[in-house]
A and B are shown apart, each in its own frame.
Chain A
């Protein structure tokens, strides 16, 4: 018995040491400051305590499906003309809500056999599409749902990757970027200590860069004007685009219309690197970019053939640059755009990371400033200390010696809880601090259950040793029951909650699990140690 008790005590002390290490690690300095620093290094504070931005983004995955079906249409057109099948039109009837549907219309009846044999019934199309025939010899190709889902999911994965690159380039420490499990195709982002407006600007812009040749060199004030200049009909390969180039931007933002080629010479995919620099003569911030060899060759061919013509740099479907081609350009280019140092840096980050595969919409934004976080920590800690002191004093007062026992168990309970947070890297949020406070209240519940049982047994005339034995034995089942129910509801919070709420549930669960150990095992060892020193008949102070 004696040896057993010693072993148990050693075990408890070992646990205590391990978890104290979990809280503080090995502090650099052994004073208050040093301990505080060590504590903050081990225990990760949530955004609501240290300040930061939390975002939920919706990836507009249909963009990606649309991009896929756009390519599919081009491929179909090629394939049909290769097989000499004439057609009226190939188009998407409802790109907004059914981006996966393509309609082929106006195929003459005698070509239908060829259409089916050479195109629609081939393995390549049968694997990807559900084909059905519509009225007037039209055919509807509908991307198989599994494939469409795959494209959507890919868009989310790619978007996360792109956003991560952009955020890493911003130099944010410990960002969290993950798929938001509760939504459909949503992304959850947590950034400690960042200016939210800048972060949002960088994250959410698609940053789709294109370089296009200009169909005509003039700049128009409106679409009407541009159309009129072409007798109401644009050339087949031309497209109207809005924007404002550097020259006109000096006089404030204007909306101008340009007539550009429908297809682009190079796109964001061709960009190898982008850097913010300054322009030699004026010192104005600009962004320089370089291209991979493939894109560089295309760019070189194009610029050689079009010296003296205009080209436009288009960013997210707006013209940002409209300039003459002075000479052949191979794999280098610059964008001047009336940038500030910061916006030049931001654009180069976006270009380097590549375009987002789909548009992004912000669904939720919340940011906490550092001053509020500091207040929250102070208030939370005050509430925890007051609550704890009140509970501990009450236990001492009400159970006398056994109160010390409960208070020791309670302190160890807290040490294990905080140490676990330190070891696991779980985040402590403001509701998490509330969880710690609740753990104090609920943790002492186990002690009260046991002590009341012991008192009852003593009242029934049992000896102290037997009473302690019975008290622990009978209360044990109840304690398990009560812990399970609270853990079940906390577990549901982990599933449904995010951020602060999840932090609450995690601390509550850790606290209660630690409580099983402290209130039952540790408290028992203390009782046993005390009983051992006493005479059998001596009263137990409870």
Chain B
């Protein structure tokens, strides 16, 4: 079966539509970046505190907010994670809540606020590690083991923690639930030293201002370096103008992807930068496939104008372009749908970027080659067939190589 058989679409004829389309999206993104949401930066770049908390029952956001307020945290950002039944909330504090001297002050305040109803002298089982549980059990020795107490209770403690983390998603609702994991004696012994809060901390991320600034610089450098790397490679493999056209197209993709983050007010995290760098490579892939074909056809079809050759090349590779982009898009979409909250931003960047990257190789990079040739031949009054020059030059390069 085949979707695209002998297509003959005049892509270059539609270049003004393409230009308009790209302009609309780039400008919308830029407007949002400069006048609306800015570039929403994740905690790695901005500095601050992020605490991912899972509750045993549906959290009441207003109550949560007022508890945090009482603890002196006045502007926490609360964001539900995943489906509502997930009972998971991301609590974000700005940089200024994180004091220079003790970076984890904000985190400690959050945890203190959440466990405000803790009974005196007991530890929270939902936020204790194996070691703490083991120590408590060794003291009590509910199973009267006698020999190798430490090892025996380490096994029990591990069972309890595994049950909590693997089966209950990190939060136990009641001590009774634990009877599925360990013996009733152990459970009742635990109740002497532990209580159950209604939350478990799933992850913490705290970034000081220094690291934020450092990473911002590095992220921008990384993107620029990879664009430069591409330019050099294409220059080496093709010709300068091919490199420039491809880099312009990829820059356009990057801009629109970042614009999409700004428009939807999603934060750009480190992994999003990784996704953008991947896109730089991926979008370049598509462009190269088309360029390779153009180069091949320039040698084969010396009579035709560059515009015709480019059109033909795009059509010949269209099937491949759409198929592979479609397949990569499907895998990325699967990542976006099933990959979980941690990778949301990453997969969003890829979903947008793959669409735009495919479009730009057809609609931006290839037409730029033609535009450049037309501009060059309009400057020199002689009218040599630009293609001929091109292929002749290419041949020279070949010989050298």
- Flag whether B188 is at the interface (Cβ < 8 A): no
- In the complex, chain A residues whose CB is within 8 Å of the CB of B339: 379-380, 382-383, 434, 437
A: residues with CB less than 8 A from B are 48, 56, 58, 182-183, 193, 195-197, 200, 341, 361-372, 374-376, 379-380, 382-384, 386-388, 390-391, 394, 397-398, 400, 430-431, 434, 437-438, 440-442, 444-445, 448-449, 452, 455-456, 474, 477-478, 481-482, 484-490, 492-493, 495-497, 500-501, 504-505, 508
Give B133-155 as 1s and 0s: 1 = Cβ < 8 Å from A's Cβ atoms. 00100000000000000000000
Are the CB atoms of A379 and B340 closer together than 8 Å? yes
Are the CB atoms of B327 and A488 closer together than 8 Å? no
Are the CB atoms of A434 and B324 closer together than 8 Å? no
- In the complex, chain A residues whose CB is within 8 Å of the CB of B214: 182-183
Knowing A488-B226, A488-B281, A501-B274, say if A367 contacts B203 (CB, 8 Å). Answer: yes
C-alpha spacing A489/B281, complex, angstroms: 6
Are the CB atoms of A376 and B340 closer together than 8 Å? yes
- In the complex, chain A residues whose CB is within 8 Å of the CB of B274: 431, 493, 497, 501, 504-505
- In the complex, chain B residues whose CB is within 8 Å of the CB of A489: 226, 229-230, 277-278, 280-281, 284
Of residues 182 through 223 on chain B, the ones whose CB sits less than 8 Å from some CB of chain A are 200-208, 210-211, 214, 218-219, 221-222
C-alpha spacing A369/B229, complex, angstroms: 38
Are the CB atoms of B347 and A434 closer together than 8 Å? yes
**Max chain B C-beta neighbours (<10 A), residue from A372, A440, A487:** A372
CB proximity of A439 to chain B, nearest CB, Å: 9
- In the complex, chain B residues whose CB is within 8 Å of the CB of A440: 331
- CB < 8 Å: which of A183, A370, A485 contacts B161? A370
- In the complex, chain A residues whose CB is within 8 Å of the CB of B204: 196, 365-367
Are the CB atoms of A437 and B203 closer together than 8 Å? no
- For residue B328, which residue of chain A has the nearest CB? A441
C-alpha spacing A200/B273, complex, angstroms: 29
- For residue B1, which residue of chain A has the nearest CB? A398
Are the CB atoms of B203 and A438 closer together than 8 Å? no
- Flag whether B36 is at the interface (Cβ < 8 A): no
CB proximity of A364 to chain B, nearest CB, Å: 5
- In the complex, chain A residues whose CB is within 8 Å of the CB of B132: 195
C-alpha spacing A486/B282, complex, angstroms: 6
- CB < 8 Å: which of A193, A394, A445, A484 contacts B330? A394
C-alpha spacing A17/B251, complex, angstroms: 43
What are 29 A-B residue pairs whose CB atoms fall within 8 Å in the complex?
A: A182-B218, A195-B132, A362-B103, A363-B211, A366-B206, A369-B170, A370-B165, A374-B166, A376-B340, A379-B338, A379-B343, A383-B338, A386-B337, A386-B338, A387-B330, A390-B331, A434-B339, A434-B346, A441-B330, A455-B2, A478-B292, A482-B285, A482-B288, A488-B226, A490-B278, A492-B222, A496-B221, A500-B271, A505-B274
Are the CB atoms of B203 and A492 closer together than 8 Å? no
C-alpha spacing A104/B164, complex, angstroms: 65
CB proximity of B6 to chain A, nearest CB, Å: 8
- Flag whether B73 is at the interface (Cβ < 8 A): no
Knowing A48-B342, A441-B330, A492-B225, say if A486 contacts B285 (CB, 8 Å). Answer: yes
Are the CB atoms of B343 and A444 closer together than 8 Å? no
- For residue A379, which residue of chain B has the nearest CB? B340
Are the CB atoms of B334 and A486 closer together than 8 Å? no
**Max chain B C-beta neighbours (<10 A), residue from A375, A397, A500:** A375
C-alpha spacing A444/B219, complex, angstroms: 29
- In the complex, chain A residues whose CB is within 8 Å of the CB of B208: 361-364
Are the CB atoms of B334 and A442 closer together than 8 Å? no
C-alpha spacing A370/B230, complex, angstroms: 39
Contacts A448-B327, A492-B229, A501-B274 supplied; 8 other A-B pairs, CB < 8 Å: A183-B214, A374-B165, A374-B166, A387-B335, A394-B330, A398-B2, A431-B343, A441-B331
Knowing A493-B222, A504-B274, A508-B278, say if A387 contacts B331 (CB, 8 Å). Answer: yes
C-alpha spacing A386/B330, complex, angstroms: 9
- In the complex, chain B residues whose CB is within 8 Å of the CB of A48: 342
B: residues with CB less than 8 A from A are 1-2, 52, 54, 103-104, 129, 131-132, 135, 161, 164-166, 168-170, 200-208, 210-211, 214, 218-219, 221-222, 225-226, 229-230, 233, 237, 270-271, 273-274, 277-278, 280-282, 284-285, 288-289, 292, 296, 316-317, 319-320, 323-324, 327-332, 334-335, 337-340, 342-343, 346-347, 350
Are the CB atoms of B207 and A383 closer together than 8 Å? no
C-alpha spacing A362/B327, complex, angstroms: 44
- For residue A512, which residue of chain B has the nearest CB? B281
Are the CB atoms of A448 and B334 closer together than 8 Å? no
**Max chain A C-beta neighbours (<10 A), residue from B281, B292, B328, B329:** B281
C-alpha spacing A510/B379, complex, angstroms: 47
- In the complex, chain B residues whose CB is within 8 Å of the CB of A481: 237, 288-289, 292
- CB < 8 Å: which of B54, B225, B319, B334 contacts A452? B319
- In the complex, chain B residues whose CB is within 8 Å of the CB of A492: 222, 225-226, 229, 277
- In the complex, chain A residues whose CB is within 8 Å of the CB of B166: 370-371, 374
- In the complex, chain A residues whose CB is within 8 Å of the CB of B329: 441
- In the complex, chain A residues whose CB is within 8 Å of the CB of B346: 431, 434
Are the CB atoms of B335 and A383 closer together than 8 Å? yes
C-alpha spacing A437/B285, complex, angstroms: 17
CB proximity of A175 to chain B, nearest CB, Å: 16
Are the CB atoms of B323 and A452 closer together than 8 Å? yes
Knowing A366-B205, A374-B165, A448-B324, say if A504 contacts B332 (CB, 8 Å). Answer: no
C-alpha spacing A449/B285, complex, angstroms: 11
C-alpha spacing A382/B340, complex, angstroms: 10
CB proximity of A498 to chain B, nearest CB, Å: 9
C-alpha spacing A390/B218, complex, angstroms: 36
Knowing A367-B203, A383-B335, A496-B222, say if A438 contacts B328 (CB, 8 Å). Answer: yes
Knowing A365-B103, A492-B277, say if A501 contacts B271 (CB, 8 Å). Answer: yes
Are the CB atoms of A397 and B200 closer together than 8 Å? no
CB proximity of B181 to chain A, nearest CB, Å: 14
Are the CB atoms of B104 and A365 closer together than 8 Å? yes
CB proximity of A490 to chain B, nearest CB, Å: 7
Are the CB atoms of B331 and A496 closer together than 8 Å? no
**Max chain B C-beta neighbours (<10 A), residue from A364, A397, A495:** A364
- In the complex, chain A residues whose CB is within 8 Å of the CB of B165: 369-371, 374
Are the CB atoms of B131 and A195 closer together than 8 Å? yes
Are the CB atoms of A375 and B218 closer together than 8 Å? no
CB proximity of A147 to chain B, nearest CB, Å: 26
Are the CB atoms of A431 and B203 closer together than 8 Å? no
CB proximity of A448 to chain B, nearest CB, Å: 5
C-alpha spacing A490/B350, complex, angstroms: 15
C-alpha spacing A517/B292, complex, angstroms: 21
- For residue A51, which residue of chain B has the nearest CB? B165
Are the CB atoms of B164 and A488 closer together than 8 Å? no
- In the complex, chain A residues whose CB is within 8 Å of the CB of B201: 369
- CB < 8 Å: which of B211, B278, B317, B327 contacts A56? B211
Are the CB atoms of B328 and A484 closer together than 8 Å? no
- For residue A381, which residue of chain B has the nearest CB? B338
CB proximity of B269 to chain A, nearest CB, Å: 10
C-alpha spacing A349/B1, complex, angstroms: 69
